[in-house]
């Protein structure tokens, strides 16, 4: 059993801030810093793919003040990413509906996509304004718009229209913060993914805790509905 693709729901930033008597934005800031700490260490775990839930389609429901801060933080995160893309051989990609974002954010995303598109190292996917239902509906609409594919299709054919069509399905999903739900993340992709829900809030989730999750993964037996 091999672990090639890790997916992460980075939950608990606001709760971490409250538990440390800090404003919520400090939790988000610390969470963004921690994301790079994890990314910079993934090569130690022989992972080929990392997909992280950065901003969901539902996150727009938060207060305008928090949304404003999150967009500012996203801008800063993209600037940091641009400054780091030549340090590693990562291929960085983005999935989700990017249309609602400001032009400066979309321009930075394009720079990162183009600058890393030919890299052959670990593939880092940031899910931005992403929803699993949106992904499925978008795939169906693409199929319906293509007259050649109106005939019945199988699961492999359907996957070709999803946003992660070029990636293998995740082997392991980690959601930090103790909440045990998928929150509309990679609904199609996670059908047979192993799930873990560590109690640590995302800002406290470090390399050692990731190592523990990976070791736990290798103790499991993936049956895929069979009896092996």
Give catalytic residue positions.
Answer: 11, 59
Residue pair 12/176 in contact (Cβ under 8 Å)? The answer is yes
Residue pair 185/9 in contact (Cβ under 8 Å)? The answer is yes
Nearest Cα neighbor of 40 from 87, 109, 93 is 87
Alpha helices by DSSP H, 98-171: 103-116, 132-145, 155-159
Q: Where are the beta strands (DSSP E) in the chain?
A: 5-9, 49-56, 91-95, 123-130, 172-175, 194-196
Q: What angle do CA 130, 77, 66 make, to 5 degrees?
A: 65
Q: What angle do CA 156, 162, 168 make, to 5 degrees?
A: 60
Sheet holding 5-9, edge to edge: 91-95, 123-130, 49-56, 5-9, 172-175, 194-196
Q: With H, G, I as helix, E, B as strand and everything else as coil, classify residue 49.
A: strand
């Amino acid at each position: 059993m091999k672990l090639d693709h890790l997916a992460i729901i980075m939950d608990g930033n606001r709760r971490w801030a409250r538990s440390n008597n800090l404003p919520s934005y400090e939790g988000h800031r610390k969470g963004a810093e921690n994301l790079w700490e994890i990314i910079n260490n993934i090569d130690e775990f022989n992972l080929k793919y990392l997909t992280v839930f950065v901003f969901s389609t539902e996150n727009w429901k938060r207060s305008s003040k928090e949304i404003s801060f999150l967009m500012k933080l996203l801008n800063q995160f993209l600037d940091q990413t641009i400054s780091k893309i030549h340090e590693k051989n990562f291929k960085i990609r983005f999935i989700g509906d990017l249309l609602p974002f400001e032009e400066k954010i979309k321009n930075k995303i394009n720079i990162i996509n183009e600058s890393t598109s030919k890299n052959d190292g670990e593939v880092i996917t940031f899910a931005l304004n992403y929803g699993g239902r949106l992904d499925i509906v978008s795939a169906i609409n693409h199929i319906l718009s293509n007259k050649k594919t109106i005939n019945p299709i199988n699961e492999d054919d359907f996957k070709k229209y999803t946003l992660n069509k070029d990636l293998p399905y995740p082997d392991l999903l980690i959601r930090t913060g103790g909440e045990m739900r998928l929150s509309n993340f990679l609904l199609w992709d996670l059908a047979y993914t192993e799930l873990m829900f560590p109690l640590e809030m995302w800002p406290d989730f470090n390399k050692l805790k990731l190592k523990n999750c990976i070791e736990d993964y290798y103790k499991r037996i993936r049956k895929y509905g069979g009896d092996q």
